[in-house]
Amino acid sequence: RLLTGDDHGVNHVALLAAIDNIPPHVSQAGDIPENNVRRLREICTPLYEKILFYILGSAKDDLGVAFLVKLRKDVRDAIRHYKIIEQGDDDSDPKNNSRKVLLSRLPNLEKNLQTILTSLFRPGVLELKRITYHNTPASIIEQIAFKEAVHPLQSLQDLRMRLGPGRRCFAFFHPALPNTPLVFA
């Protein structure tokens, strides 16, 4: 609730005031003074987005990226949870109003997280590495084996065969998450 409170989103009163401060003689978008444009951009950025960028920039060992990934998962889970609860809600219960307000704000937070993560995980940032049975750390091989859903592993011998001579397995890694394969093929 901290990130979705009234004082952490877009300040609509300030936004309307900033729009009113645009000189009335402006006839085209290019005529809007740059300071008005900067002010509008600043006001339209929710405070929680600034908090997320602070977390991203100040976390040690790039844990900010992992935190944002987990936060987005939690927000998506909360949205699904509240939508299920909403289906059986009684409109006369006052608790339901606060839940509906939260449910109306969580998708905006989720979209902002998606935008931030999309910029962090763009293809030019990701590193492609070959995965082999003998040269890849066991913790990475274990993650790949655990996450394999298309062709589930039957045994350790099966894993050795898939990563053995004449076979190619690659994984994408993010520099901030060097021990976590994001995608593998």
Q: What is the pLDDT of residues 31-87, one digit of tens each?
A: 777 887 888 888 888 777 888 888 887 766 667 888 888 999 999 998 888 888 777
Q: From residue 178, give the alpha-carbon distance in Å to each of 38, 66, 129, 149, 175.
A: 37, 11, 11, 22, 5
List pLDDT tens digits, range 6-35.
Answer: 566 677 788 888 888 777 776 666 677 788
Angle at 135 between CA 123 and CA 128, to 5 degrees: 5
Return d(Cα 36, Cα 15) in angstroms, integer. Answer: 11
Tens of pLDDT, residue by residue over 135-178, are 889 888 888 888 776 777 777 777 778 888 888 889 999 888 88
Q: Which of 97, 99, 72 is nearest to 83 (CA)?
A: 99
